[in-house]
Amino acid sequence: MQIVVSNISVEVIRKDIKNMHLSVLPPDGRVRVSAPVRLTDEAITMFVRTKLGWIKKQREKFQQQPRQSARQFVSGESLYVWGRQYFLQVEYSYKGNSLVFSGDKAILTVRKESTAKQREAFVNEWYREQLKREVAKYLPKWEKITGLYCSGWQSKYMTTKWGTCNTNTRKIWLNLQLAKKPIECLEYVILHELAHLKVKNHGPEFVAVLDPHMPQWQERKKLLNESKLDYMDSNFE
């Protein structure tokens, strides 16, 4: 359910809880309220109104985070792989696309007439393969550690979440952008989503799953949320 308060869209999730919980979520400042099942829409709206000042401050923090500029995939741009910055060097060939690394250079070979979207599609597929390779290592590791097993996982490009878990199907989705972040961030997101197989919300029981297995999870979460984000169109909601 969605409500709008002072032109701010708020996601409302009703749960079997006693008190309301307000969150402003990275990376774009999405607002979410967890509310008791029987609470009226009017009461939720009034609650959000009392918190507007705090909401706006939190959203400003996300807006001020450094973002990569819009990608054109031309020489000189930055390319991030597992937290390391490379500088793009574009070369041309009709023998097929490739992406190789030499020192701090990422050498992208494409057809000269290829468009930015075509180059982006190739690079994203390259990222997808990198993510698959690492998830193949770390998902079984954290499943064994926690005793929580998903039915499968897939990757997709997301601009509001690093991962998501369908607790009904036990399937996990991971953000393709994780291949740009330090590997410890990927491990944190994997553990986070596996924890949702046991606890749906982010309350004390959820934290109790994370703490013993990854005592430094808050530092990893902070590292992830403070790292550079992809360019986001100004019309993005």
Q: What is the pLDDT of residue 231?
A: 45
Are the CB atoms for 43 and 33 separated by under 8 Å?
Answer: no
CATH topology of domain 78-226: Zincin-like (3.30.2010)
Structure tokens at 213: 């297995």
DSSP state of 227: S
Q: How far apart are CA 153 and CA 176, in angstroms?
A: 12
Q: Can you give the pTM of this predicted structure?
A: 0.71
Are the CB atoms for 80 and 228 separated by under 8 Å?
Answer: yes
Q: What is the pLDDT of residue 65?
A: 59
The pLDDT tens digits for 55-75 are: 998 888 766 655 555 678 999
Q: How far apart are CA 158 and CA 13, in angstroms?
A: 21
Q: What is the pLDDT of residue 230?
A: 59
Q: Where in the chain is the domain with CATH 3.30.2010.10?
A: 78-226
Average pLDDT for runs of 10 along the chain of length 237: 89 89 80 91 93 88 62 89 94 94 96 94 95 97 97 87 91 94 96 95 91 95 75 31
Q: What is the pLDDT of residue 66?
A: 57
